[in-house]
A = this chain, B = another copy of it.
Amino acid sequence: MYAAPPIQKLLDELERLPGIGPKSAQRIAYWLLNADRAVALRLSEAIAEVKESVHFCARCFNYAQDELCEVCRSVTRDPQIICVVSEPRDIPPIERTAMFSGLYHVLGGALSPMEGIGPDDLNINALLQRLATEEVGEVLLATNPNVEGETTAAYLARLIKPLGITVTRLASGLPVGGDLEFADEVTLGRAIESRRVL
């Protein structure tokens, strides 16, 4: 035992965080010990506050401080298009593109027979409810381009198309700025399959 117990406790808790190993935990712990009291307490309080005050948006299941999330409360968003994502954490990257101005719907996961996650475990009924009551012209399926995400997208497409709503999917292809040389064959195959006329 060479760290005072409160320091060891902090190290233990920091090491639970994703991407934080023993060395990073140590660096952060000593930084906090060295930091202004106010700076450290702001972090402590921000963590507590996020657990107190953040819950799921009643409409789209994004994280929200009020009943509805920032996106659902905005009057400038286009309610005719809903982007369906697996998790709330998928929303910030889409927002950063500034290419989407519609609303969201968070499924809370993806279909996975392996992990026993079926349609009833996701916010799919709530989505169908929204499609029945809101005037939606397009549903953009933005689940991840992996097995579970593709399965979920295919399942939702089968459910939603009969409602006369346009169903779209994020394009697959080469990452912008990437090298052909280093592209995996599945991605490159998709890029060829989905080639555009110039």
Contact = CB atoms under 8 A, between A and B. Distances in A.
Interface of A: 1-7, 9-10, 12-14, 16-20, 24, 26-33, 37, 39-54, 63-65, 69-71, 87-89, 91-92, 95-96
Number of copies: 2
A7 B49 CA distance: 9
Given A41-B51, A43-B16, A65 B30 contact: no
Given A13-B46, A47-B43, A70-B4, A28 B18 contact: yes
Contacts of A87: 30
A63 B28 contact: no
Contact of A54 (B6, B47, B92): B6
A70 B3 contact: yes
A57 B79 CA distance: 61
A3 B44 contact: no
